């Protein structure tokens, strides 16, 4: 009887213990589901990646206690994981926007494997990557990394770390995996939202830019002329246009450098994308960096909104930098970097922006002389001067002037609804004899004024103005011959020593680099 009573008491105690354990398990499951629901509600109400991450941190740390949390997103273009969000009160060795490779780091290994992974202190010490050394220096003792996957597509990893020696358990991994499934969909939506917002901003910026182009563009329909000098230029355009090479167009002001740049773009595989131009001489030095590379809100006084720069506008297309010789020296290293690496940072931002831009530059300056004077970086010059094209001034292609005159007369007469059928012979002769220091642009202005002044169907050109402005003709060949003779005499006296106190450059009173540039132009080489 006593034994039966004892057995009954034991079974009752066991039953009570089991029920207590079940109640505890149910309570844990209830808390777990409540926290998962809390995470879900937080994710639904946030579209931005950083706000989304910040909102779930508190709930995530209730689920799985930890002190270090990061969100790493896969960058397909650079083949790295970017730390897009970080919550950690450390010393600053690990920061947002750092990049880690898909190996040799906990996040990279878990991402490559496609499965949650745990790393204790010993595991971390086995990894030699600089990023892992920084984690250890910050006091992180153990890490758990869970891939973020949506429909078999891996977006990145959710990473948590502890400063205590307590390792992550199977239950911790299970909870983090459940949260990661929810976070993955939210991250996908957030990335899509960011991409749409960026495209929207880019389209808005392009609209503003192209409206401005419509208002201010010169609207040349074609390049007019048939002289051998122009034909050589067009042959070079046809040769270089299909490539990705940087082109440097050189020529006097008004020779049509922008027309040649547009012709290169229109004959390239980028013809369906944007052709964006920047006149580096027309923009104040303080604003040029923002114009080229854009800025973030608050980057400087007056920056009330984010702005997309011309390099981003030209992504996939062609950027034309007119008067590139006017770029200030302090901005030249940043331009060199974007030419070499195709990446830059907006003003006020640490985020790297990658672009695919074909650069065409133009200048009327002597860049070699500027390099010698130290006002233009030699490495930037060599990077720009991959494929140089020299445009002849109008005075060297006078045979094209009659054709240009007739073309411009028709264009301007249509614009102001006049009919002009003839150009007097004396007016055409005066136009052909004029030396045109402003080149085609000056000719265009003269013809437009003539069309406006004409009262009948015959063009009335202000010939008297051209005669007053036309100086005595200068024989270019004679000047070159005199310069060549002077240089050769100095070289002979210095026994072909160019530099030094007794060299030819010192005798001529010019820099060594300037003399070398002049020698190349005049075809002078040591016998």
- What is the pTM for the complete model shown? 0.56
Q: Given the structure tokens 């009948």, which residue do they identify?
A: 456
Residue 202 included in any domain = no
Same domain, 346 and 404: no
Q: Is 348 helix (H, G, I), strand (E, B) or coil?
A: coil
Predicted confidence at residue 17, as pLDDT, reads: 59
Helix (H) or strand (E) holding 81: strand 80-87
Q: 353 and 232, same structural domain?
A: yes
DSSP reduced 3-state for 274: coil
**Domain end: 357, 373, 390, which one?**
390
**According to the model, what pLDDT value does residue 200 have?**
58
- Is 402 in the same domain as 368? no
358-363/318-322 β-pairing: parallel
How far is the C-alpha of 117 from the C-alpha of 127, rounded, in Å? 14
**Burial (Cβ within 10 Å: 0-12, 13-18, ≥19) of residue 346:** buried
Percent of the chain that is helix, strand, coil (3-state, to 5):
50, 15, 35
pLDDT score for 220 = 35
Closest CA to 193 of 83, 46, 84: 46
Residue 396 · residue 229 · CB < 8 Å: yes
**Same domain? 102 vs 62:** yes
Q: Using an 8 Å Cβ cutoff, are 77 and 70 in contact?
A: no
408 and 378 within one domain: no
Compute and round to an integer the Cα radius of gyration of the chain.
Answer: 35
Can you give the CATH number for the domain in which 293 is found?
3.40.50.300
**Residue 272, number of CB atoms within 10 A of its CB:** 8
In angstroms, how far is the first alpha carbon of the chain from the final one? Answer: 129
Are the C-beta atoms of 303 and 296 separated by less than 8 Å?
A: yes
Q: Residue 58 is encoded by which pair of tokens? A: 């508190």
307's CB contacts (< 8 A; 6+ apart) are: 205, 290, 294, 295, 346
Is residue 287 domain-shared with residue 262, that is, in the same domain? yes
| Cβ pair 157, 107 in contact under 8 A | yes
End residue of a domain, out of 447, 469, 491: 469
- The alpha helices in 127-255, defined as continuous H runs, are 130-137, 170-216, 228-240
Per-position b or e across 414-429, b if 16+ CB within 10 A of its CB? eeeebebeebeeebbe
Q: Which two tokens stand for residue 338?
A: 């974007």
- Are 293 and 158 members of one domain? no
In 3-state terms, what secondary structure has residue 127?
coil
Q: For residue 518, what are the contacts with CB-CB under 8 A and spacing of at least 6?
A: 483, 487, 510, 524
> Helix/strand/coil (H, E, C) string of 208-220?
HHHHHHHHHCCCC
Taking CA atoms, 227 is separated from 20, 115, 230, 364, in Å, by 100, 69, 5, 22
Cα–Cα nearest to 315, from 219, 212, 198? 198
Is 14 a domain residue?
no
pLDDT value at position 244? 92
Q: Is residue 314 situated within a structural domain?
A: yes
Which residues lie across from 277 on neighbouring strands?
320
Domain count, the chain: 4
Residue 384's pLDDT is 94
Rounded CA-CA distance 217/362 in Å is 17
Q: Is residue 120 part of a domain?
A: yes
Contact in structure between 326 and 317 (CB atoms under 8 Å)? no
Last residue of a domain, one of 358, 390, 422: 390
Contact (CB, 8 A) for 346 and 303: no
User: What token pair was written down for 374?
Assistant: 């130290």
208: in domain: no
Measured over the CA atoms of residue 46, residue 52, residue 55 and residue 57, the dihedral's sign is: positive
Specify the 3-state DSSP secondary structure of 74. strand
Q: What is the mean pLDDT of each run of 10 residues along the chain (527 residues)?
A: 57 61 60 58 55 74 87 85 84 85 89 92 90 92 92 89 88 86 78 64 56 42 80 92 94 91 92 90 84 80 74 92 92 92 86 91 92 91 94 90 90 88 86 89 91 88 70 53 77 80 75 79 75
Of 137, 140, 106, the residue nearest 121 (C-alpha): 140
Which tokens is 203 given? Answer: 């389209």
Residue 290 domain-assigned (yes or no): yes
Angle 478-479-482 (CA atoms, 0-180°, nearest 5)? 85
Q: Are 248 and 131 in the same domain?
A: no
Beta strands at 117-119 and 99-100: parallel, antiparallel or unpaired: unpaired
Residue 453 and residue 418 share a domain? yes
Establish if 83 belongs to a structural domain.
yes
Same domain, 327 and 409: no
Range(s) of the domain holding residue 259:
218-390
Same domain for 278 and 407?
no
Cα separation of 235 and 369, whole Å?
28
Rounded-to-integer distance, Cα 331 and Cα 377, Å: 10
Q: CA separation (Å) from 116 to 107, 110, 173, 204, 498? A: 9, 6, 7, 42, 69
Give the span between the Cα atoms of 380 and 280, in whole angstroms: 15
Token readout for 15 is 């039953």
Picking from 294, 352, 295, the residue whose alpha carbon sits closest to that of residue 98 is 352
- State whether 385 and 257 are in the same domain: yes
CATH number of the domain at 442, please: 1.10.8.60
415 in any annotated domain: yes
């Amino acid at each position: 009887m006593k034994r039966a009573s004892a057995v009954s008491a034991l079974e009752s105690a066991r039953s009570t213990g089991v029920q207590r354990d079940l109640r505890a398990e149910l309570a844990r499951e209830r808390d777990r589901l409540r926290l998962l629901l809390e995470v879900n509600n937080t994710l639904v109400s946030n579209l931005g990646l950083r706000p989304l991450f910040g909102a779930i941190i508190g709930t995530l740390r209730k689920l799985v206690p930890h002190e270090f949390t990061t969100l790493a997103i896969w960058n397909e273009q650079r083949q790295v994981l970017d730390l897009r969000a970080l919550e950690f009160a450390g010393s600053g060795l690990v920061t947002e926007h750092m990049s880690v490779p898909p190996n040799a780091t906990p996040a990279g290994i878990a991402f490559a494997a496609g499965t949650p992974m745990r790393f204790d202190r010993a595991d971390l010490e086995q990894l030699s990557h600089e990023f892992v050394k920084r984690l250890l220096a910050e006091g992180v003792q153990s890490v758990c990394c869970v891939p973020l996957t949506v429909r078999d597509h891996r977006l990145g990893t959710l990473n948590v770390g502890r400063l205590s020696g307590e390792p992550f358990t199977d239950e911790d991994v299970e909870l983090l995996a459940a949260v990661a499934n929810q976070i993955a969909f939210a991250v996908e939506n957030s990335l899509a939202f960011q991409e749409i917002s960026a495209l929207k901003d880019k389209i808005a910026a392009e609209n503003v830019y192209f409206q401005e182009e419509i208002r201010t563009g010169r609207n040349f329909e074609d390049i007019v002329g048939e002289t051998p000098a122009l034909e050589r230029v067009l042959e070079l355009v046809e040769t270089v246009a299909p490539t990705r090479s940087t082109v440097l167009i050189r020529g006097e002001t008004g020779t049509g450098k922008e027309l040649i740049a547009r012709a290169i773009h229109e004959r390239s595989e980028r013809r369906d994308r944007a052709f964006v131009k920047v006149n580096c001489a027309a923009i104040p030095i303080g604003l040029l960096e923002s114009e080229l590379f854009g800025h973030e809100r608050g980057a400087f006084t007056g920056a009330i909104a984010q702005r997309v720069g011309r390099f981003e506008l030209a992504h996939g297309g062609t950027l034309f930098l007119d008067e590139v010789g006017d770029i200030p020296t302090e901005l030249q290293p940043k331009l060199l970097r974007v030419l070499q690496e195709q990446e830059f940072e907006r003003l006020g931002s640490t985020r790297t922006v990658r672009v695919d831009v074909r650069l065409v530059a133009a200048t009327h300056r002597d860049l070699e002389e500027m390099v010698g004077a130290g006002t233009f970086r030699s490495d930037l010059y060599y990077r720009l001067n991959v494929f140089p094209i020299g445009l002849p001034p109008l005075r060297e292609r006078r045979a094209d002037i009659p054709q240009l005159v007739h073309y411009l007369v028709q264009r301007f007469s249509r614009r102001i609804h006049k009919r002009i059928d003839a150009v007097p012979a004396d007016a055409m002769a005066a136009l052909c004899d004029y030396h045109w220091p402003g080149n085609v642009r000056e000719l265009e202005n003269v013809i437009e004024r003539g069309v406006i002044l004409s009262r009948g169907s015959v063009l009335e050109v202000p010939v008297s103005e051209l005669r007053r402005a036309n100086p005595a003709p200068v024989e270019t060949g004679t000047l070159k011959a005199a310069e060549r003779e002077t240089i050769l005499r100095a070289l002979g006296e210095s026994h072909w020593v160019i530099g030094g106190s007794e060299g030819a450059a010192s005798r001529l009173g010019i820099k060594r680099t300037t003399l070398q540039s002049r020698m190349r132009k005049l075809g002078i080489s040591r016998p």
